[in-house]
Amino acid sequence: MEQIIKKEDKLKFKGGLFNTKSGTLVLTKSELYFETKGGKKMFTVPVKSIQSVNSQKGVGAGVDHLYVLYQENGREQKAKIEHFSIMSWGALGNLSRLSSYFSSWEQMINDARFGRIL
C-alpha cells in the first residue's frame, strides 16, 4: 500500500442532488480519492490526471469546498468535496476564517502534481 500524504475524515463528496456521501479524502503520491464510510470509492484520480485544484469559501458561515478538475477517458471531470463546521458567532470575526478550510489540501495536491513531495 502506498504511503498516505494527507487524509481527512468527516468530509462530504458532492456528486449531485442524490449523490452526496460522507467519508474520507485521501492523497498519496500517485492518486487522490474519496472513500465512503462503507468503503466505496466515489472517485479515484491519478495525480498526473489532475488539471487543477481550487479551494473556495462556500455560501454561509462554516462551509468550504474543494474542486478538483481532472481528465478521465478523454473527458474533463469535476469532483467537489465539502467541509462544514459549526462556528460560534464570536469565531465569525476571526481573520483566519477568511482563508478556505481546504487551502492546505490545495497546496499538498499541487505539490504532488508537480513532484515537490519526496
Range with top average pLDDT, 24-28, 60-64, 88-92 = 24-28
Among 101, 108, 104, which residue's Cα sits nearest to residue 47? 108
Residues ≥6 apart with Cβ < 8 Å to 20: 12, 13, 14
Instruction: Tell which wins on pLDDT, 67 or 63.
Output: 67
User: Which amino acid makes up residue 18?
Assistant: F
Strands laid side by side in the 20-28 sheet: 41-46, 31-36, 20-28, 4-14, 75-84, 63-72, 50-57
Encode pLDDT of 49-58 as tens digits.
999 999 998 7
pLDDT of the residue at 117: 79
Confidence class for position 89, pLDDT limits 50, 70, 90 = very low
Q: Kindly state the average pLDDT of the residues 5-26.
A: 92
Q: What is the pLDDT of residue 87?
A: 57
47/30 Cα distance (integer angstroms): 5
